[in-house]
Structure 1
Amino acid sequence: MTNRVLTLVLLGTMLTPLGALAGQAPGSADGGDRPISSKDRVYAAEQFSNTISVTDPSTNTLLGLIRLGDPQPSSLSPLYKGQLLVHGLGFAPDGKTLAAVSIGSNSVSFIDTATNAVKHTTYLGRSPHEAFYTPDGSEVWVTVRGEDYVAVIDAATFAEKTRIKLPAGPGMTIFSRDGAYSYICSSFNPETVVVSTKDHQIVGKVKQESPFCPNIAATPDGKQVWLTLKDVGKVQVFDAKPPFKVIKTMDTGPLTNHVNFARTDKGQLAYVTVGVLNQIKVFDTASFEQVATIPVGNLPHGLWPSADGTRVYVGLENDDNLAVIDTAAQRVVANVPIGQAPQALVYVPDAVTEGPGTENLQPLGDATAATTLRLAAPGDQEKTITSVTLFDQGLLQVIQAGVGGLEPKQPYVLALSANADGSGPLQPLAKFKSNPAGAAVVNALGPIRHIVAADAGEARRYLVIARQGEDGPGEIVQAQVE
């Protein structure tokens, strides 16, 4: 059991105006070799602290947090006015506006990157997921994952102007290099749709290997589109041009989450976050061969490249950290503490053109106060299978487990035991069902830290995962490692 508070040196480069215009499709930026500037910013959306961390890559400094809401339990009040579950990020082509999606409060917050102040909040349908600007900057497309449409927002007025009707559960949309197409994957249906950006008409469909796609990205050369399939642990690739033919499907690992790209001296490479394995897998986009495996911290989630392809930044969801990868060495070279449970991540060039750009930022404070635990199979405690993080919210902790190593599509329960081996009565915390890859992300809420990290002489409890039967918890399959 450890308390993670690490330090990061954050490196990156600045996009050219062309790169900024294309930057709304992750990995499509083409910024050349322009040096890092104090005008640039790296942003991460943090779901449990309801914040956005702001980093100056020129000085390798976390400048502070944009606070969009409060942690629990204040966010549960009927009078609560802040945002909840800050999750998605996009930015305007000129770098002056950041679009932050909060899935729990059904909103998009438009933030002035020069002052870090919210200039407008637009409320939409149930559980919006991601927001990206069209390449010309005139519209913001928001996938409303809890419903069946993409909300199209006027970028000048911040008003919803129309809706693009789709099958239920659109997960994310990104645009082609030339701006002609939008590729919209689904989180509930096994189908990605291609929409004409100009007239909002569906012009193509691509069969997904599973219904749950959380992330989609276009390659910098404009030839391919990659999407992740989190529930089955795969990545799928299709042609970016009609007839949008599927090119390749690859097994990557349980809780495969995001994909992005970097142009390097070794070619155009795809970087894929694999949550349960705590790894980034790197693929050559020409041959589809895996060229590297990069160990990182717990539950890697969102990632974004520097414009010159020398760095890839990764949010570590269960570590409250941002990792930076050197793409020449294919290894993590630094980490920085950020807010709780980072999700989406973007690198914005020329975000601040005058002054220090620190107005309205708040200190990190207790946002990284967290306790991490690990679970392993009985009898094999050297091999961690599941990482668990207890995110402090005052008297309460949000519990998040990145679970792996289970039988597919079976019922389980995360529970507390009075004994380290899980023997005796169990107190259930959260029931869940493993996905087809035998993995899951499991959440619970409660005053748990003081009983799983009790001082000597105090009553101690242990986290376990058990099979869930009709009459309650059964066989222990994973137990907390001391």
Structure 2
Amino acid sequence: MRLTRAALFLALAAGSARATDIYAHTHAGMFSPAVRGVPARVYVPNGKDHTVSEIDPATFRVMGTFPVDREPQHVVPSHDLKTLWVASDEGRQSLTPINPRTGLPGKPVPVADPYNLYFTPDGRYALVVAENEARLIFLTADSMRPAFEIAVPCRGVNHMDFSPDGEHLLAACEFSGDLVKVDLLARRVTGVMHAGGMPQDVRIAPDGSVYYVADMMANGVRVIDGSGDTPRKVGFIPTGKGTHGLYPSRDGTRLFISNRGEGTVSVLDFASRHLIARWTIPGGGSPDMGSVSADGKQLWLSGRYSDVVYVFDTRTGKVLRQIRVGRGPHGLTYFPQPGRYSLGHTGNYR
């Protein structure tokens, strides 16, 4: 059966919040019953060491590190918030499950080229982003077995976000500089926009009107209208060298933007689309992917080429800690976070 339940699911679950605040259910304290009793931890995939480090955010201490398959890219919360998945896309390519109640890994699930992982809004499918194979591989979420695939006419598909009604997604393709819109009900690509540059993370605005797309080569954020069959550029916001990751604040009013090439974080006001702050890592750094803490007071980002994790105070922009981890830390996740369910990546909740 095709994804005919998606629109109904979101209409019933989101109600009027859909039109006013996409992130209405992800504010501080709004935890799902599914994560009751789960200890707060930060899971860091160390791509060059083929390990995952586990940090206690209360003490900033690394509690332990365990091996996974080669080149772990992201640690991704499942739609039902019961499992964390480590996406390893080299060697024996796989998704390794982590039990967030114990912090222990399970048996890896073989999957082709899992650079990233998302979940359809209705929770029926896990969506493996096969970056090097130019396809989206859909697995049944309950069994993680192959269901169907959608080929994408671009190179380097990596990040995405979903339309307010859950029927479409907008994906970035970093190697060819394209943005691709996919119809999940029809299971096909509806349009491709050649943006140029090197598009990275994708996040939808709180009101659902536009998508923000980080562009690492253009050194800023593209503002994209995704309402038509083909994405359309409506604006561009210069932020800093190597613009990479996008993270809404816990109250849904600001967007934190990591500039990996210059060791800064830019802060965007969603309402005005203007930059309102710029945070600098003392001595420089390489802020990459991460998560906002559950209470919204901290932004945790991996230092991709610095082998550390940065912890920013979201009120002042001060770097509170630099925590030494393994080599090449990438898509870390802070778990649990507020939200009814996860759409994947390092913490895209609704």
Q: TM-score, normalised by structure 1?
A: 0.58
How far off its partner does 1:292 sit? 1.2
Q: Is the 8 A contact 2:240 2:264 kept in 1?
A: no
Instruction: Name the structure 2 match of 1:306.
Output: 293
Q: Which runs of 5+ in 1 are unaligned?
A: 1-16, 69-82, 352-482
> Using a 3 Å threshold, how does the CA distance of structure 1 residues 92 and 249 change in structure 2: closer, same or farther?
same
Question: Deviation of residue 307 (structure 1)?
Answer: 4.2
Q: Pick the aligned partner of 2:147 from 158, 161, 168.
A: 161
CA distance in 1, matches of 2:138, 2:38: 32
SS of residue paired to 1:101: strand
User: d(CA) in 1 for partners of 2:39 and 2:105?
Assistant: 19
1:146 aligns to what SS in structure 2?
helix
**Aligned position for 1:46:** 46
Show CA shifts across 1:33-91 (max 9, x none): 359976233222111111122223345443222321xxxxxxxxxxxxxx111112321
Report the number of matched residues: 311
Partners of 1:223 and 1:324 in 2: how far apart? 30
Mapped to 1, the partners of 2:50 and 2:145 lie a distance apart of 23
Q: Taking CA–CA contacts closer than 8 Å with sequence separation of 6 or more, which of the two structures ends up with the larger relative contact order?
A: 2
CA contact (8 A) 1:153 1:160 kept: yes
Counterpart position of 2:212: 226
**Does the 8 A contact of 2:293 with 2:337 survive in 1?**
no
Q: Alpha-carbon deviation of 1:256? A: 1.9
CA displacement, residues 381-440 of structure 1 (integer Å, 9 cap, x when unaligned): xxxxxxxxxxxxxxxxxxxxxxxxxxxxxxxxxxxxxxxxxxxxxxxxxxxxxxxxxxxx
Give runs of aligned pairs for residues 416-431 of structure 1, distance below 5 A: none
- 2:7 paired residue number: none
The one of 338, 342, 348 aligned to 2:329: 342
Task: Provide the C-alpha distance between the structure 2 equivalents of 1:142 and 1:28, rounded to a whole number of angstroms.
Answer: 27
Residue 280 of structure 2 is matched in structure 1 by 295
* Residues 66-125 of structure 1 deviation map (CA, whole Å, 9 limit, x = unaligned): 321xxxxxxxxxxxxxx1111123211332211211122332223332334443433344
Which one-letter code corresponds to 2:253 in the other structure? Q
Which one has a bigger Cα radius of gyration?
Answer: 1
| Other structure's SS at 2:211 match | strand
Please state if 1:88 is matched with 2:84.
no
Is contact 1:167-1:189 (8 Å) kept?
Answer: no
Query: Could you tell me which residue of structure 1 aligns to residue 260 of structure 2?
Result: 275
Q: CA deviation at 1:147?
A: 1.5
Change in Cα spacing, 1:189 to 1:276, as seen in structure 2 (3 Å) is closer
Assess, with a 3 A threshold, how the Cα gap between structure 1 residues 180 and 143 changes in structure 2: closer, same or farther.
same
Q: Which amino acid aligns with 2:220?
A: K
* Identity value in percent: 22
**Which one-letter code corresponds to 1:280 in the other structure?**
V
CA RMSD between the two structures: 3.0
TM-score with structure 2 setting the length: 0.78
Q: Which runs of 5+ in 2 are unaligned?
A: 1-12, 339-350
Using the TM superposition, give the Cα deviation of residue 316 of structure 1 relative to its aligned residue in structure 2, in angstroms: 1.1
1:30 alignment partner in structure 2? 26
Aligned to 1:284: 269
CA distance in 2, matches of 1:320, 1:86: 14
**Helix, strand or coil at the partner of 1:44:** strand
